Amino acid sequence: KAGVTQTPRYLIKTRGQQVTLSCSPISGHRSVSWYQQTPGQGLQFLFEYFSETQRNKGNFPGRFSGRQFSNSRSEMNVSTLELGDSALYLCASRPPGAGDTQYFGPGTRLTVL
Amino acid sequence: GENVEQHPSTLSVQEGDSAVIKCTYSDSASNYFPWYKQELGKGPQLIIDIRSNVGEKKDQRIAVTLNKTAKHFSLHITETQPEDSAVYFCAASIRSYGQNFVFGPGTRLSVLP
Protein backbone atom coordinates (compact mmCIF):
# COMPACT_ATOMS: atom_id res chain seq x y z
CA LYS A 1 0.00 0.00 0.00
CA ALA A 2 1.40 3.40 -0.91
CA GLY A 3 2.25 5.72 1.94
CA VAL A 4 1.25 9.30 2.54
CA THR A 5 2.40 11.50 -0.32
CA GLN A 6 3.01 15.21 -0.21
CA THR A 7 3.61 17.66 -3.04
CA PRO A 8 5.66 19.57 -3.72
CA ARG A 9 8.63 18.32 -1.69
CA TYR A 10 10.43 21.65 -1.80
CA LEU A 11 9.16 25.17 -2.27
CA ILE A 12 10.73 28.62 -2.19
CA LYS A 13 8.52 31.68 -1.79
CA THR A 14 9.00 35.32 -0.90
CA ARG A 15 7.41 37.26 1.92
CA GLY A 16 3.83 38.29 1.28
CA GLN A 17 3.10 35.49 -1.15
CA GLN A 18 0.75 32.65 -0.48
CA VAL A 19 1.34 28.91 -0.85
CA THR A 20 -0.74 25.77 -1.17
CA LEU A 21 0.57 22.37 -0.12
CA SER A 22 -1.06 19.07 -0.99
CA CYS A 23 -1.36 15.77 0.85
CA SER A 24 -2.72 12.43 -0.32
CA PRO A 25 -3.40 10.05 2.58
CA ILE A 26 -2.95 6.32 2.56
CA SER A 27 -5.80 4.67 0.68
CA GLY A 28 -8.74 4.14 3.01
CA HIS A 29 -7.60 6.71 5.56
CA ARG A 30 -10.11 9.48 6.16
CA SER A 31 -8.35 11.52 8.82
CA VAL A 32 -5.60 13.93 7.76
CA SER A 33 -3.59 16.09 10.14
CA TRP A 34 -1.06 18.80 9.39
CA TYR A 35 2.00 19.71 11.44
CA GLN A 36 4.69 22.37 11.24
CA GLN A 37 8.21 21.32 12.16
CA THR A 38 10.93 23.86 12.93
CA PRO A 39 14.25 23.55 14.81
CA GLY A 40 13.08 26.03 17.43
CA GLN A 41 9.48 24.96 18.03
CA GLY A 42 9.64 21.29 17.10
CA LEU A 43 6.54 19.54 15.83
CA GLN A 44 3.42 21.63 16.24
CA PHE A 45 -0.11 20.58 15.37
CA LEU A 46 -1.89 22.77 12.82
CA PHE A 47 -5.25 21.10 12.19
CA GLU A 48 -7.03 17.84 11.52
CA TYR A 49 -9.64 17.03 8.91
CA PHE A 50 -12.05 14.13 8.81
CA SER A 51 -14.68 13.60 6.13
CA GLU A 52 -14.09 17.08 4.73
CA THR A 53 -14.65 18.74 8.13
CA GLN A 54 -12.05 20.40 10.31
CA ARG A 55 -12.47 18.83 13.71
CA ASN A 56 -9.48 20.15 15.60
CA LYS A 57 -7.20 23.15 15.27
CA GLY A 58 -3.91 24.10 16.81
CA ASN A 59 -2.76 27.50 17.95
CA PHE A 60 -1.82 29.09 14.64
CA PRO A 61 -2.99 32.39 13.11
CA GLY A 62 -5.79 32.52 10.58
CA ARG A 63 -3.25 32.82 7.77
CA PHE A 64 -3.00 29.05 8.01
CA SER A 65 -5.99 27.25 6.59
CA GLY A 66 -6.84 23.91 5.12
CA ARG A 67 -9.46 21.82 3.48
CA GLN A 68 -10.20 18.23 2.64
CA PHE A 69 -11.82 16.84 -0.46
CA SER A 70 -14.29 14.01 -0.84
CA ASN A 71 -11.47 11.63 -1.78
CA SER A 72 -9.74 12.50 1.55
CA ARG A 73 -6.93 14.42 -0.15
CA SER A 74 -6.11 17.55 1.77
CA GLU A 75 -4.55 20.92 1.07
CA MET A 76 -3.20 23.55 3.41
CA ASN A 77 -2.79 27.16 2.48
CA VAL A 78 -0.63 29.84 4.05
CA SER A 79 -1.38 33.41 3.04
CA THR A 80 0.82 36.48 3.42
CA LEU A 81 3.94 34.44 4.08
CA GLU A 82 6.38 35.54 6.76
CA LEU A 83 10.03 34.56 7.19
CA GLY A 84 9.04 32.57 10.27
CA ASP A 85 6.81 30.33 8.18
CA SER A 86 9.92 28.61 6.80
CA ALA A 87 9.55 25.04 8.02
CA LEU A 88 8.94 21.43 7.14
CA TYR A 89 5.19 20.90 6.79
CA LEU A 90 4.13 17.36 7.55
CA CYS A 91 0.90 15.62 6.77
CA ALA A 92 -0.25 12.50 8.62
CA SER A 93 -3.16 10.19 7.97
CA ARG A 94 -4.97 7.81 10.27
CA PRO A 95 -6.97 4.72 9.42
CA PRO A 96 -10.59 4.38 10.51
CA GLY A 97 -11.22 2.30 13.59
CA ALA A 98 -7.55 1.95 14.49
CA GLY A 99 -7.61 4.26 17.45
CA ASP A 100 -4.84 6.75 17.35
CA THR A 101 -2.02 5.51 15.14
CA GLN A 102 -1.05 8.02 12.49
CA TYR A 103 1.38 7.78 9.61
CA PHE A 104 3.42 10.68 8.32
CA GLY A 105 4.37 11.71 4.81
CA PRO A 106 7.85 12.93 3.86
CA GLY A 107 6.91 16.59 4.26
CA THR A 108 7.15 19.75 2.17
CA ARG A 109 10.15 21.94 2.89
CA LEU A 110 9.00 25.57 2.59
CA THR A 111 11.58 28.34 2.48
CA VAL A 112 10.39 31.94 2.70
CA LEU A 113 12.89 34.56 1.51
CA GLY B 1 -3.08 22.01 27.78
CA GLU B 2 -0.77 19.06 27.45
CA ASN B 3 2.98 19.57 27.70
CA VAL B 4 5.54 16.89 26.86
CA GLU B 5 9.16 17.05 27.98
CA GLN B 6 11.86 14.76 26.58
CA HIS B 7 15.36 13.94 27.79
CA PRO B 8 18.12 13.82 26.82
CA SER B 9 18.22 16.12 23.80
CA THR B 10 21.25 14.29 22.42
CA LEU B 11 22.52 10.81 23.17
CA SER B 12 25.61 9.01 21.90
CA VAL B 13 26.11 5.30 22.50
CA GLN B 14 28.50 2.67 21.27
CA GLU B 15 27.17 0.10 18.84
CA GLY B 16 25.71 -2.80 20.78
CA ASP B 17 24.94 -0.76 23.88
CA SER B 18 21.44 0.18 25.04
CA ALA B 19 19.81 3.59 24.69
CA VAL B 20 17.05 5.02 26.89
CA ILE B 21 14.99 8.13 26.16
CA LYS B 22 12.55 9.48 28.73
CA CYS B 23 9.42 11.61 28.38
CA THR B 24 7.06 13.17 30.86
CA TYR B 25 3.59 14.51 30.20
CA SER B 26 1.39 16.86 32.15
CA ASP B 27 -2.21 15.95 31.34
CA SER B 28 -3.38 12.86 33.23
CA ALA B 29 -6.15 12.44 30.64
CA SER B 30 -3.60 11.52 27.96
CA ASN B 31 -4.00 7.88 27.09
CA TYR B 32 -1.97 7.17 23.96
CA PHE B 33 1.81 7.49 23.68
CA PRO B 34 3.56 6.85 20.35
CA TRP B 35 7.26 7.04 19.56
CA TYR B 36 8.51 8.20 16.19
CA LYS B 37 11.88 7.95 14.48
CA GLN B 38 12.84 10.62 11.99
CA GLU B 39 15.76 10.20 9.63
CA LEU B 40 17.26 13.05 7.67
CA GLY B 41 14.99 14.23 4.87
CA LYS B 42 12.11 11.98 5.89
CA GLY B 43 8.91 12.28 7.83
CA PRO B 44 8.56 10.73 11.30
CA GLN B 45 8.02 6.97 11.26
CA LEU B 46 6.01 5.27 13.98
CA ILE B 47 8.20 2.69 15.71
CA ILE B 48 6.16 1.70 18.74
CA ASP B 49 3.22 2.95 20.76
CA ILE B 50 1.55 2.22 24.07
CA ARG B 51 -1.87 2.88 25.49
CA SER B 52 -2.64 3.85 29.06
CA ASN B 53 -4.05 0.46 30.00
CA VAL B 54 -0.67 -1.19 29.34
CA GLY B 55 2.51 -0.82 31.39
CA GLU B 56 5.04 -2.19 28.92
CA LYS B 57 5.26 -3.17 25.27
CA LYS B 58 8.10 -4.77 23.37
CA ASP B 59 8.88 -5.21 19.69
CA GLN B 60 12.17 -6.98 19.03
CA ARG B 61 14.95 -4.59 20.15
CA ILE B 62 12.55 -1.78 21.05
CA ALA B 63 10.47 -1.48 24.20
CA VAL B 64 8.35 1.22 25.78
CA THR B 65 7.35 1.49 29.43
CA LEU B 66 4.62 3.67 30.91
CA ASN B 67 4.20 4.87 34.47
CA LYS B 68 0.79 6.55 34.66
CA THR B 69 1.18 7.55 38.29
CA ALA B 70 4.38 9.45 37.61
CA LYS B 71 3.19 10.50 34.16
CA HIS B 72 6.29 9.39 32.34
CA PHE B 73 7.13 6.91 29.62
CA SER B 74 10.42 5.68 28.21
CA LEU B 75 11.83 4.21 25.03
CA HIS B 76 14.43 1.47 25.34
CA ILE B 77 16.55 0.34 22.41
CA THR B 78 18.81 -2.65 23.01
CA GLU B 79 21.76 -3.85 20.93
CA THR B 80 21.90 -0.54 19.09
CA GLN B 81 23.06 -0.45 15.48
CA PRO B 82 24.33 2.44 13.33
CA GLU B 83 21.01 2.51 11.47
CA ASP B 84 19.31 3.40 14.75
CA SER B 85 20.94 6.84 14.48
CA ALA B 86 18.12 9.35 14.01
CA VAL B 87 15.97 11.84 15.90
CA TYR B 88 13.37 10.22 18.15
CA PHE B 89 10.15 11.94 19.22
CA CYS B 90 7.71 10.96 21.89
CA ALA B 91 4.12 12.19 21.84
CA ALA B 92 1.00 12.14 23.98
CA SER B 93 -2.61 12.45 23.01
CA ILE B 94 -6.07 12.21 24.46
CA ARG B 95 -8.16 9.76 22.56
CA SER B 96 -11.20 11.82 21.78
CA TYR B 97 -13.08 13.33 18.92
CA GLY B 98 -10.58 15.38 16.99
CA GLN B 99 -7.57 14.29 18.98
CA ASN B 100 -4.52 16.46 19.19
CA PHE B 101 -1.00 15.07 19.46
CA VAL B 102 1.59 16.96 21.50
CA PHE B 103 5.19 16.05 20.69
CA GLY B 104 8.33 16.19 22.77
CA PRO B 105 11.25 18.25 21.44
CA GLY B 106 13.15 15.20 20.20
CA THR B 107 16.32 13.29 21.03
CA ARG B 108 19.14 13.00 18.52
CA LEU B 109 20.60 9.52 18.92
CA SER B 110 24.02 8.74 17.49
CA VAL B 111 25.22 5.15 17.48
CA LEU B 112 28.98 5.07 17.13
CA PRO B 113 30.58 2.08 15.36
- A101·B41 Cβ contact <8 A: no
Beta bridge partners of A86: none
- How many degrees, rounded to 5, is the angle at CA A110 between CA A93 and CA A36? 45
Confidence of residue B21 (pLDDT cuts 50, 70, 90): very high
How near does any CA of chain A get to the CA of B95, in Å? 7
Report whether A60 contacts A54 (CB < 8 A): no
**Is any Cβ of chain B less than 8 angstroms from the Cβ of A90?**
yes
**Is any Cβ of chain B less than 8 angstroms from the Cβ of A23?**
no
Chain A to chain B Cβ contacts (< 8 Å): 56
- A43·B89 Cβ contact <8 A: yes
pLDDT digits (tens, 9 = 90+) for B37-48: 999 889 999 999
Say whether pLDDT at A97 is over 90. Answer: no
Contacts of A106 in chain B (CB under 8 A): 41-43
Contacts of A90 in chain B (CB under 8 A): 43-44
Contacts of B46 in chain A (CB under 8 A): 101-104
pLDDT digits (tens, 9 = 90+) for A18-43: 999 999 999 999 999 999 999 888 99
Q: How far is CA B5 from CA A16, A65, A87, B29, in A?
A: 35, 28, 22, 16
Rounded to an integer, the average pLDDT of B10-33 is: 95
- B98·A50 Cβ contact <8 A: yes
Rounded to an integer, the average pLDDT of A56-83 is: 95
Mean of per-residue pLDDT scores for chain A: 93
How near does any CA of chain B get to the CA of A29, in Å? 15
Q: Determine the distance from the C-alpha atom of residue B57 to the mean position of all C-alpha atoms in its chain, rounded to a whole number.
A: 12
Choose among A4, A17, A9, A5: nearest CA to A101: A4
